[in-house]
Amino acid sequence: MIQDERTKDYYQALIEKNTEYEGIFYVGVKTTGVFCRPTCPARKPKFENCEFYETVQQALLASYRPCQRCRPLSHPNHISEIVQMLVEAVEKNPEKRWKGQDFKALSIDESTARRQFKKRFGMTFVEYARARRMGLALKSIRSGENIIQTQLASGYESSSGFRDAFSRIMGAPPTLVENSLVLKASWLDTPLGPMLAIADETQLYLLEFVDRRGLEREVERLRRKTKAAIVPGQTEPIVSIEQELADYFNGTLTEFKTPLYLLGSPFQKSVWTQLMSIPPGETRSYADLARALGNPNAFRAVAQANGANQLAIVIPCHRVINSDGELGGYGGGITRKQWLLTHEKS
């Protein structure tokens, strides 16, 4: 979400239906739960009810659905039938995971759909559907509300995908959880975008950017391994990590002290522990790490363990780069990796 001085400009553009701002921003309307393009013909919301986003994906992950009037997923002068049809299909059944036969049922060519979405929105249709699904699942976490209250407050979701989207990703709703472990999840806004934090009363289990590729599977894996349900809320480790992240981003923190729960094999844990010994401002290669672990040939396994890290920033997998000095990959995206490394150097 854009939170700086641009929001005033954008709001002005919204009021004026300024076509020059098409594609520059999208606006989420808190009172209706939809997101619009700047030129939407519908009545304009109050400034305090607007949230501005640079991309469709960000608006979806913040749980907004596309407006029926201005159709923010279509080019201003051209509504692609395929795009429109697929967007409507997602709204009818937001928790669905799309497979090849689903496209066939709609007589849509999967690769055409992928191309059209990618060209227009920088993400494929499957990524679109996933972002919408995650957005619904993250909705009550983002607002910090109890899931049941959220459902009651909104007729649209109570009858359709919300409960399913939430429970498919986060586990059974709280009413159904009796004796099992309950993990709490919070939405943390950071200068690099929103993060999802999941913890019990004593330890932090997961910290990831909400737009991270594969987050849905990670959360599912966490749930399966811990047999826990995940509900919106805060615990001591979440309060602690929120404060530590704030200090980290303003440059006053070098060591995280929030207790961590490491969910992995003994080898993965040894890699993660090794990662935490890399001081801020420095980097290592996979080969360096493998040598430090006394197993110089294990760099591939080290790379895998690095990728399986579920505690972004705190376990600094972003400090691992290629042997040739290239940045290498990062689950949260290369731009963030570069930002973090630059931030830690200064």
CB of 91 to Zn ion, least distance (A): 14
Which residue, 10 or 209, is less far from Zn ion as judged by CB? Answer: 10
CB 157, CB 163: distance < 8 Å = yes
Is residue 73 at the binding interface for Zn ion, with CB under 5 A as the rule? no
Query: Binding residue for Zn ion (CB under 5 A) from 14, 29, 40, 183?
Result: 40
Nearest CA to 230 out of 155, 187, 280, 171 is that of: 171
> 151-155: long-range contacts (C-beta < 8 A, 24 or more apart)?
154/33
Which residue, 27 or 82, is less far from Zn ion as judged by CB? Answer: 27
Is residue 345 at the binding interface for Zn ion, with CB under 5 A as the rule? no
CB of 73 to Zn ion, least distance (A): 11
| Helices and strands of the chain, counted as H and E runs | 15, 8
Query: Binding residue for Zn ion (CB under 5 A) from 56, 62, 70, 315?
Result: 70
Residue 40 appears among annotated catalytic residues: no
Sign of the alpha-carbon dihedral angle for 101, 103, 106, 111? negative
How many Å apart are CA 262 and CA 7, to the nearest integer?
Answer: 39
Q: Going residue by residue from 279 to 298, which x/- string records binding to Zn ion, judged by CB under 5 A? A: --------------------
Beta bridge partners of 34: 29, 65
Could you tell me which stretch among 3-11, 61-69, 136-144, 253-261 binds Zn ion (CB under 5 A)?
61-69
Is residue 56 at the binding interface for Zn ion, with CB under 5 A as the rule? no
Q: Going residue by residue from 138 to 177, which x/- string records binding to Zn ion, judged by CB under 5 A? A: ----------------------------------------
- The two most distant CA atoms of the chain are separated, in Å, by 65
Which residue, 43 or 227, is less far from Zn ion as judged by CB? Answer: 43
CB 30, CB 61: distance < 8 Å = no
Which residue, 69 or 217, is less far from Zn ion as judged by CB? Answer: 69
CB 156, CB 33: distance < 8 Å = yes
Q: Which residues bind Zn ion (CB under 5 A)?
A: 36, 40, 42, 67, 69-70
Catalytic residues: 317
